[in-house]
Amino acid sequence: MKQNIVRLFVVLLLSVSLGSVFAADAKKIVIGVSMVQKDSDWWNTMGKFTDQAYHAEGWETVTIWAAGDQQKQIKDVEDLVAMGIKYIVMGPIQAEGSMVAVDAATKAGIPVITIGRLSNTKNAYAEIIGNDPDFGKVQMEQIHKDYPNGANIVYLFGPVGAGYAVQMWEQGTQPKLAEYPNLKILEQYRNPSDITSDGMKSAEDAIVRYGDKINVIAATNDGLALGAVRAVQAAGLGDKIKVYGAGLTLMGIEAVHNGTMRFTALRSQAKVAEKSVEFLKMAMKGEKPGEKRALIPPVPVTKENVLTVKDAMFGGTVTAPETWKPKK
């Protein structure tokens, strides 16, 4: 009961705020944004870029964070619909569970653009994701390059239920492992989220169980990989176990630069935001996209190119990105 009262209060408060916006400018465009969780570095940055990109177009945003809770995200989207939002951009928490939210908004006549992860619904207006199989492929290619004679790998998979993680593992990582039979998976740890604490817990368990048999800890994302970095360093195994991430974060690129993480791959939030603006403009014109799925390719990042890769995440703009600069 208490939760329902709080939720009703939030909806009323946001509705009043939106009412003020609409009253001030009847033509003002408001984009509802449903994001996964703010304590994920990747999603926190994604939220900043959607705000920047939409505000640059003169649009207002109402961003609600689901805290990694699928049921909360469904309720959040229901709230956006109840507020009269005309366009929704959503980072699905789960491929399956997110269908309820997307389908409900679509039924209400609201186009939903999913970003970062896939939803299993066919009703999304557009989908913007990383080329997830390629993220798995380039990671395994780098491991094979670093260990041409073979390696034992502990793999940190997660978040469980996230479409991108499944695509990366099943269509990218596993086919590449079949090409490289001397790369052996000791164990796959399935994690509920992509946050550092989950990765650290799994890596600590792996080190206790497998010890010096481990050559590599690879992860679906930088969040889990950074947890592995902490576990490896705490165990004094930094010179024996290399850590490989994906979906670059600012903490991840710093770890690559200082040598505690061997590899990551940029999954550009700026490019995702830029593409979502294109789709939103089409939706506003009442047009349907000819190809509703846009794929953002991976950009491998290692010690060798860490200071030359450019992206708006590091500074500048989408059209004039800058390189990452280490802290002095």
Provide the pLDDT for residue 5. 45
Fold of 2-124+269-296: Rossmann fold (3.40.50)
Cβ neighbors of 300 (< 8 A, separation 6 or more) are: 138, 142, 263, 265
Q: What is the pTM of this model?
A: 0.79
Q: Which of 3.40.50.10470, 3.40.50.2300, 3.20.20.150, 3.40.50.300 would CATH assign to domain 132-266+303-323?
A: 3.40.50.2300
In CATH terms, are 2-124+269-296 and 132-266+303-323 the same topology? yes
Contacts of 210 (CB under 8 A, 6+ apart): 152, 154, 186, 187
What count of other Cβ atoms lies within 10 Å of the Cβ of residue 284? 13
Which token pair is 35? Answer: 């994001």
Query: Which secondary structure element, helix H or strand E, spans residue 165, and what is its range?
Result: helix 163-168
Instruction: Pick out the chain residues at pLDDT < 50.
Output: 2, 5-6, 8-13, 15-24
pLDDT tens sequence across 179-197: 999 999 999 999 999 999 9
- 4: CB partners within 8 A, 6+ apart: none
DSSP-based three-state secondary structure for 183: strand
The per-residue pLDDT for range 132-190, each reduced to its tens digit, is 999 999 999 999 999 999 999 999 999 998 888 999 999 999 999 999 999 999 999 99
- The answer to whether residues 173 and 241 touch, using CB atoms and an 8 Å cutoff, is no
Q: Give yes or no for a contact between 266 and 301, defined as CB atoms under 8 angstroms apart.
A: yes
Task: Answer whether the bond into residue 159 is a cis peptide, omega within 30°.
Answer: yes
Domain residue ranges of the chain, discontinuous segments joined by +:
2-124+269-296, 132-266+303-323
